[in-house]
Amino acid sequence: MFAWDGWAGLSAEIQDQEKALLAIEERFDAFKVQEEWERQQDWNKRMLAEDGALGEEVRRIAAMLRDERRALLLQWLTSVNIDTKYNDEREKHQEGTGAWLVNGTQFQQWMKTANSILWLHGKGA
């Protein structure tokens, strides 16, 4: 019968190979994690770029709507001919109209006092 006594060496060599294989697996896992992280970073950069472009488009549309609303408001405001309206009302003026106000003591005091407020209230015409 033949006796082989190299089992201890063979077992140590197998353990060394297992350790080397585990080290390779750990490096490969780390590489996969790094690769996934880089892929995620690229995706994040693309999303931020698209978000920036989208945000710019939203700002452009909002500005366009503001301009459009402003144009409509100005059109509405200028649809009344102020000169004609002023002249029509001026022709209705009666001598002495408003004299009670401008000759009153409260009005005179208001005119003399800087940064003062004169509160007028009453029925509209």
Mean pLDDT by 10 residues, the chain (125 residues): 70 87 88 88 80 80 91 84 85 88 93 92 74
Distance CA 89, CA 80 (A): 14
pLDDT at 2: 63
Provide the residue type at 32 as one letter. K
pLDDT at 59: 84
pLDDT at 124: 67
Distance CA 67, CA 26 (A): 61
The torsion of the CA quartet 17, 23, 24, 25, rounded to 10 degrees, works out to 110
For residue 117, what are the contacts with CB-CB under 8 A and spacing of at least 6? Answer: 110
pLDDT at 80: 75
pLDDT at 3: 65
For residue 116, what are the contacts with CB-CB under 8 A and spacing of at least 6? Answer: 109, 110
pLDDT at 113: 93
CA angle 87, 90, 96 (to 5 degrees): 170
Find tokens 């995620």 and name the residue: 40
CB 110 within 8 A of CB 116: yes
pLDDT at 114: 93
Structure tokens at 100: 């009670």
